[in-house]
């Protein structure tokens, strides 16, 4: 029987990471007001959330700074303007994509930065680059996690080889990422078994980052925690790319650790997330995202469908089946 069945108890090692700014930034090009970000920071502290991910350390040579808000780049001074000395229990994270960042120059030494955790994002094809970034971040004094993206398209043998390579690095947390929102809880359980083999071998923690294309982000997250995964990503009101993510209000409502408090989350959604919706920011489950999830496809076509304000779902389904 899974630990998740012990609904009156909790596992103290569980860690919650708020990815609202980073994943949510993908739906509004990271144009969040300072008021929104400061309120989110304060809410995470009140809610007992363990880490807050501010956004990306993206390359300013690859991405035009005039076309994105500042959380695409997460300059340390911009983070300090929000958190000050961050004399709190909440830790600060940023994501760095292999091949899309200038990590050697843009990620400073930990002693000179407000950031605590570097989240390296990689595909199976770029694992050597991820290993180099992990080593660099560790030398600079950071905690480091690694998100292996699009694993629903991977061969098990390739995934095991990648986990073995990453296990030999000083990475702290290895993340299961359901990039396409195509996985079911039974598959998550199997994938956790694969990851756990290498986590135990190399003494690593495991995390999960789920997408909600089939309305399974929460179900897959609590499946994973029941199987021994400790690091759990969530976003407020599921704010995130396409169909969004595991909802923070669902997750904190499920976890029984008294350090977590769902009420501030509900307040933030009411006061700030609803305002984003009123301003026309669009995310969340819809048929087009279900379809790409069912077909195990990247949601880019569904995102474009949404931007074009299309409603011809059956025609869209015919189009993406033809591409499959």
pLDDT higher than 80, residue 285: yes
H-helix or E-strand spanning residue 197? helix 185-202
Of 163, 86, 108, 101, whose CA–CA distance to 131 is shortest? 163
Helix 34-47 / helix 20-28 crossing angle, nearest 10 deg: 150
pLDDT the model gives residue 3 = 58
Digit-coded pLDDT (tens) for 210-250? 999 999 999 999 999 999 999 999 999 999 999 999 999 99
Number of C-beta neighbours around residue 136 at 10 A: 17
Of 16, 164, 159, whose CA–CA distance to 89 is shortest? 16
pLDDT the model gives residue 260 = 98
The whole-angstrom separation of Cα 315 and Cα 191 is 34
Four-point Cα dihedral 15, 205, 134, 136, nearest 10: 70
H-helix or E-strand spanning residue 36? helix 34-47
Digit-coded pLDDT (tens) for 96-105? 999 999 999 9
Residues 244-259, mean pLDDT to the nearest whole number: 96
Query: Given pLDDT bands bounded at 50, 70 and 90, which one contains residue 2?
Result: low
DSSP code of 271? Answer: I
Q: Would residue 219 be called left, alpha or beta, if left means φ above 0 and alpha means ψ between -120 and 50 degrees?
A: alpha
The token duo for 106 is 């843009």
The SS3 call for residue 17 is strand
Do 54 and 21 meet the contact criterion of CB atoms below 8 Å apart?
yes
Instruction: Give the list of residues 6+ apart from residue 24 with CB closer than 8 angstroms, or none.
Output: 32, 235, 236, 239, 240, 283
The whole-angstrom separation of Cα 253 and Cα 247 is 10
Query: Given pLDDT bands bounded at 50, 70 and 90, which one contains residue 5?
Result: low
The token duo for 308 is 């074009």
In the chain the beta strands, taken as DSSP E runs, fall at 15-18, 51-56, 91-97, 117-122, 143-148, 173-178, 205-210, 231-234
Sign of CA dihedral 152, 10, 251, 260: negative
**In the chain, pLDDT over 90 holds for what percent of residues?**
95
The SS3 call for residue 97 is strand
Instruction: Give the list of residues 6+ apart from residue 316 with CB closer than 8 angstroms, or none.
Output: 288, 291, 301, 302, 305, 310
Residues 204-214, mean pLDDT to the nearest whole number: 98
Global pTM reads: 0.97
pLDDT the model gives residue 323 = 84
Average pLDDT taken over every residue of the chain: 96
Residues 146-166, mean pLDDT to the nearest whole number: 97
Helix 156-167 / helix 127-139 crossing angle, nearest 10 deg: 20
Do 178 and 211 meet the contact criterion of CB atoms below 8 Å apart?
yes
Query: Given pLDDT bands bounded at 50, 70 and 90, which one contains residue 312?
Result: very high
Give 200-258 as a 3 state SS string.
Answer: HHHCCEEEEEEECCCCCHHHHHHHHHHCCCCEEEEEHHHCCCCCCECEHHHHHHHCCCC
Residues 153-169, mean pLDDT to the nearest whole number: 97
pLDDT higher than 80, residue 206: yes
pLDDT higher than 90, residue 273: yes
pLDDT the model gives residue 7 = 62
Digit-coded pLDDT (tens) for 163-178? 999 999 999 999 999 9
Q: Which of 45-54, 286-295, 315-324 has the lowest mean pLDDT?
A: 315-324
Digit-coded pLDDT (tens) for 60-77? 999 999 999 999 999 999
Query: Given pLDDT bands bounded at 50, 70 and 90, which one contains residue 324?
Result: confident
The whole-angstrom separation of Cα 35 and Cα 226 is 36
pLDDT the model gives residue 6 = 59
pLDDT higher than 80, residue 157: yes
């Amino acid at each position: 029987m899974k630990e998740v069945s012990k609904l009156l108890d909790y596992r103290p090692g569980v860690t919650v990471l708020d990815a609202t700014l980073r994943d949510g930034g993908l739906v509004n090009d990271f144009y969040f007001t300072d008021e929104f970000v400061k309120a989110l920071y304060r809410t995470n502290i009140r809610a007992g959330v363990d880490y807050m991910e501010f956004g990306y350390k993206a390359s300013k040579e690859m991405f035009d700074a005039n076309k994105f808000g500042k959380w695409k780049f997460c300059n340390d001074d911009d983070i300090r303007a929000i958190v000050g000395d961050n004399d709190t229990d909440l830790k600060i994270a940023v994501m760095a994509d292999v091949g899309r960042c200038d990590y050697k120059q843009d990620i400073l030494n930990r002693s000179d930065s407000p950031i605590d955790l570097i989240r390296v994002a990689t595909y199976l094809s770029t694992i050597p680059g991820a290993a180099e970034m992990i080593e660099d971040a560790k030398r600079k004094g950071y905690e480091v996690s690694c998100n292996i993206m699009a694993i629903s398209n991977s061969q098990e043998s390739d995934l095991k080889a990648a986990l073995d390579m990453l296990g030999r690095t000083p990475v702290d947390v290895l993340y299961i990422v359901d990039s396409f929102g195509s996985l079911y809880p039974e598959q998550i359980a199997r994938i956790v078994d694969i990851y756990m083999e290498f986590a135990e071998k190399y003494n690593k923690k495991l995390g999960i980052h789920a997408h909600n294309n089939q309305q399974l982000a929460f179900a897959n997250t609590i499946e994973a925690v029941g199987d021994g995964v400790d690091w759990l990503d969530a976003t407020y009101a599921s704010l995130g790319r396409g169909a969004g993510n595991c909802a923070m209000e669902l997750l904190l409502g499920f976890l029984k650790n008294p350090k977590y408090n769902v009420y501030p989350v509900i307040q933030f959604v009411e006061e700030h997330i609803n305002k984003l919706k009123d301003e026309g920011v669009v995310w969340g489950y819809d048929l087009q995202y279900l379809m790409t999830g069912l077909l195990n496809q990247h949601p880019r076509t569904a995102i474009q469908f949404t931007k074009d304000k299309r409603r011809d779902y059956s025609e869209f389904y015919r189009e993406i089946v033809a591409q499959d």
